[in-house]
Amino acid sequence: MKKLESSLLNMIVVLTLVSVITGGLLAAVNSVTEGPIQEQKDKALADGIKAVMGAEDIKVTADDKVNSSVDGKDREYIIHRVANASGEPIGVAVESASQGFSGDVKILVGLDKEGTIKGYTILEHAETPGLGARAVDWFQKDQKGDIIGQQPSKGKLTVSKDGGQIDAITAATITSRAFLKAVNNAYEVYASEGADAQSGATKKN
């Protein structure tokens, strides 16, 4: 078999073939893994909603996507409207975010029909391990920065350094401010839509 001559044309042909084959392999892997990855995300969100609402026997009746610039930046907030087993609305779980020290702090916060905070979970963050990452637990029930049971309708939640009543995470005031802003944003978006509003919601049976 005659050896291919080394030329610019031959190199381009080989590189093109390699690129096509690699692209095909990546597409195949993506198509195989896309489904399971999405299933894991859906399960994590469903578990998160149960956690922040403090109940197991619940169902999401609608997902409202709301675009807002509450914190001076255009963001998409998702309001998951939650009902009990009998179908009676009991509140919402809101996906919210704010700029932290190293990137966005994305949270899921549960609010009852009166706007009282029932729980929260951190969906995503890029904060410093051991400092900003402590937001996962710091603001939970009976912890130093406990916000459970608070009502943002009576005033925005702020850290004590800013005249508020919430203890900031030690050596991570920026992350604490970002977290509380995300909570405040979640409430404001929910309140602006109304407890029973359906703003282009994706309804679920």
Average pLDDT, the chain: 85
Q: How far is CA 200 from CA 63, 67, 89, 186, 193, in A?
A: 9, 11, 18, 18, 11
Q: What is the dihedral of CA 43, 94, 98, 167, to 10 degrees?
A: -100
Q: What is the pLDDT of residues 34-90, one digit of tens each?
A: 666 778 877 888 999 999 999 999 999 999 999 987 667 788 999 999 999 999 999
Domain ranges (residues) in the chain = 48-203
Q: Which two tokens stand for residue 78?
A: 């998702």
Q: What is the pLDDT of residues 160-178, one digit of tens each?
A: 999 999 999 999 999 999 9
pTM: 0.76
At residue 108, does pLDDT exceed 60?
yes
pLDDT given at position 6: 59
Helix (H) or strand (E) holding 181: helix 173-193
Q: How far apart are CA 97 and CA 183, in angstroms?
A: 8
Please name the residues in contact with 87: beta carbons below 8 A apart, sequence gap of 6 or more. Answer: 59, 61
pLDDT given at position 71: 61
- Binned at pLDDT 50, 70 and 90, residue 194 comes out as low
